[in-house]
Structure 1
Amino acid sequence: MISLDDIQDANRRINGHVRRTPLAVSPSLSEICGASVGLKLENQQTTGSFKLRGATNAILSLHTAARKKGVAAASTGNHGRALAHAARAVGSRATICMSKLVPDNKVFEVHRLGADVRIVGNSQDDAQKEVERLAEEERFTILPPFDNPHIVAGQATIGVEILEDIPDVNTVLVPLSGGGLAAGIATAIKSKHPHCKVIGVSMRRGAAMKASLDAGRPVEVEESPSLADSLGGGIGLDNQFTFAMCRDLLDDIVLLSEAEIAAGILHAYEREREIVEGAGAVGIAALLSEKIIRPAGPLVVVLSGRNVDMNLHRRVVNGEIDPFGGDK
């Protein structure tokens, strides 16, 4: 539903606006897996997550008049931060709607970058309804966090970089929420290397894309606090792009407990010297939990972001495996 040409256009468009992130081999994970494991360090992106790629591509694709009017989006934090940054860079303004479940540190950063922030309801769906109301009243352009071809094409540039660094990659583990990252990377990778497996990884609590794929259509899920807060939220009952792309392109989906996600955060910190949020740690967690069949060749794990509340991070690395209680 997006083409290789779309991805190449996005790659050219965002060049100079976002960072080409490193891909570092992990000796510890390579030893555990018996195969080379590389870490795609999107946690080192300018705004602390991969979201800057899609947001920048989408903003730069708008006509001048639309940029002048402003943009709006619902967000679990990282898309809002990225969109605020990208909008400010081109002289536009961003209005970001977030639910009460979004951590304070992420809300603060969106404020800091100059966006108008609205806290609405207890779910991503509640925040999206407010976005739609504001867009109707203010004539903002809605730039959603995942279900938009320019957003997906921007995230797909990660796949382009992975193939440039490891042309014979056998498996890619991608955090999975609304599907923009997973769908984009899968499109880029499989267009050049169709036999490479792309596996989505999410938390057990409220995995909307997995529930939707199991149901054969987009469905709503109950949102709960999770270490992988960035993976929360629904995919939209009127999802136009990412549901079908994930259905057709992903080879598997792995779900993790909070304890397993905590182990991924801890490993990233102690063994890789990387600070990652829960969503960014799920690929590592999937390997540590042995939920990924041992790969036959090079494997890449996408560390999608670092924007974790540092008090929460400290609690996890000090051994608190489920700060929110419940699922072990």
Structure 2
Amino acid sequence: MATQLAPAPALPVSIEDVHTAHRRIADSIVRTPTLISRTLSQMTGATVYLKFENLQFTAAYKERGALNTLLQLSDEARRKGVIAASAGNHAQGLAYHANRLGVPATIVMPRNTPIVKVVQTQGHGADVILEGDTFDAAYAHARLLEAERGFSFVHPFDDPRIIAGQGTVAVEMLEDAPDIDTLVVPIGGGGLISGMATVARAAARPLQGVGGDAEWYPSKVTRRNGTHNPRAGDTLAEGIAVKEPGGITSEMVRALVDDIVLVSERSLEEAVSLLLQIEKTVVEGAGAAGLAALLAHRDRFQGRTVGVVLCGGNIDTRLLANVLLRDLARSGRLARLRLRLQDQPGALFNVARIFDQERVNIIEVYHQRVFTTLPAKGLITDIECETRDRAHLDQLVAALRAAGFDVRPVEHA
């Protein structure tokens, strides 16, 4: 008689949970579009569909899980109110829907949270408490207030109700683009990818689920591989910069997710810039991690039909400007050239004449006479300029050198 295998243990969230969540929240969230990107498809060799979750009212998918959780609270829990620790999209999503439902909301944020995020969360009717210098300190204080005041704590990712709500993103994607065979999802605490992988695994045909993890916070990769790689940094993808994934989400990721790939800061910046240039849409660093994974690992996805979630669009405008300028510098369209000149009349004029001949626009000129190792009659001039492309910049440098100038590009990030 054949040995009968024991059934696999049930996971905390089922496909029925996700579909129930979708019916529960569908009337109160934006059904964001899933659109093909022909340009990104040509660039990557995959057929690329984008899910624009940055078009939710609070500009992030986090509303889904927050609302699904709020709608399952008892009347008494709603009366006492909810509390969360967050400095980002979870705070705004929870505050917005709690206010809409008449549920008091308290959000504990680290003291160094950017003021714009504090103001936006308060604008949704939440009571914001600034506590501690780190998320861990804010989290500990939120749990203390939960116990003291009888609040219901709403975790940003490690809760079956949150996971089921986030999984509704995949339900809509696969309804709108049924040819998708691979989902590429930013992965931080794991709530979004756990919910979406639940939908992928339940599909009638094989679907892959792949997570895009920030290189500076590889906690999901290290846990999955059983390695130890404690890194940290000021990543552009702060929304997925989670040092320790959740217990529930780790179990689900281990069971359901096919692969996790790391993305560098440069790939994240490239993805944010491309989405603005090509799709005319603003996406934060964490929200662009799925596309960054696709760009950085093209061979992994070539020939597949890929669904990428643009999961958030809350990026500081100054940071966005910096990302775009750095991208221009990498492409050669914006450059800083350092020239060594003799300190005599006409030296700068002779340089400017070559810029004019090559039809290169000069943006800024910096003279340096004091803080240099050159002789007293020597000087360094940095010229910021705008060119058509890398070939145009190379043509300018060649012309300057042909005229006898000592010139070199100043390195960019």
Shared fold (TM-score, shorter chain, > 0.5): yes
Deviations 1:85-134 (A, max 9, x none): 01101101111122356443322211211212223334332221111111
| 1:176–1:203 Cα change, 3 Å | same
Query: Which shows bigger deviation, 120-129 or 109-118?
Result: 120-129
Range moving further from structure 2, 82-91 or 198-207: 198-207
| Cross-structure match for 2:391 | none
Counterpart position of 2:350? none
Question: Which whole-Å CA distance do the structure 1 matches of 2:259 and 2:284 have between them?
Answer: 23
Give SS of 1:20's match. Answer: coil
SS state of the match for residue 27, structure 2? coil
1:225 aligns with 2:258: no
Separation of aligned partners in 2, 1:252 and 1:138: 42
Q: Secondary structure at the match of 2:83?
A: strand
The range that moved more, 158-167 or 77-86, is: 158-167
**Where does residue 155 of structure 1 map in the other structure?**
166
Larger displacement relative to structure 2 (28-37 or 140-149): 28-37
Shift in alpha-carbon separation, 1:13–1:119, aligned structure 2, 3 A = same
For residues 243 and 276 of structure 1, what CA distance do their matches in structure 2 show? 26
Check if 1:271 corresponds to 2:278: yes
Larger RCO (alpha carbons 8 Å, 6+ apart): 1
The 5 Å alignment of 1:168-179 reads 168-179=179-190
Aligned length: 319
Separation (CA, whole Å) in 1 of partners of 2:298 and 2:136: 30
Distance 1:104 1:292, change over 3 A: farther
Whichever structure has more strand as a proportion of its residues is 2
- Could you tell me how far apart the structure 2 residues matched to 1:293 and 1:256 are? 13
Q: Unpaired segments of 5 or more residues in structure 1?
A: 322-327
The correspondence of residues 22-61 of structure 1 with structure 2, limited to 5 A, is 22-61=33-72
How much has 1:8 moved relative to structure 2? 1.2
1:199 alignment partner in structure 2? 210
Q: Does structure 1 conserve the Cα–Cα contact (< 8 Å) formed by 2:47 and 2:305?
A: yes
Compare 279-288 and 121-130 and name the one that shifted more: 121-130
Report the equivalent of 2:306.
Answer: 299
Q: Is 1:284–2:295 an aligned residue pair?
A: no
Give the distance between the partners of 2:230 and 2:136, measured in 1 at CA: 10
Q: Is the 8 A contact 1:171 1:295 kept in 2?
A: no
Contact 1:173–1:199 (CA<8 Å) still a contact in 2?
yes
**For residue 255 of structure 2, what is the aligned residue in structure 1?**
248
Q: How many Å separate the matches in 2 of 1:279 and 1:163?
A: 22
- Counterpart residue number, 1:317: 324
1:52/1:112 CA distance change after superposition, 3 Å: same
* Greater C-alpha Rg: 2
CA offset at residue 192 of structure 1? 1.1
Q: TM-score, normalised by structure 2?
A: 0.73
Tell me, yes or no, if the aligned pair for 1:254 and 1:291 is still in contact at 8 Å. Answer: no
Structure 2 residue aligned with 1:65: 76
Q: 1:85-100 counterparts in 2 under 5 A?
A: 85-100=96-111
Name the Cα RMSD after superposition: 2.1
Map 1:232-243 to 2 at 5 A. 232-235=241-244, 239-243=246-250
Cα contact 1:201–1:254 (8 A) shared by 2: yes
Deviates more, 1:124-133 or 1:35-44: 124-133
Do residues 121 (structure 1) and 128 (structure 2) align? no
**Aligned-pair distance for 1:221?**
5.6
Cα deviation for residue 320 of structure 1 reads 6.3
Q: Which amino acid aligns with 1:181?
A: L
Amino acid at match of 1:117: V
Identity %: 38
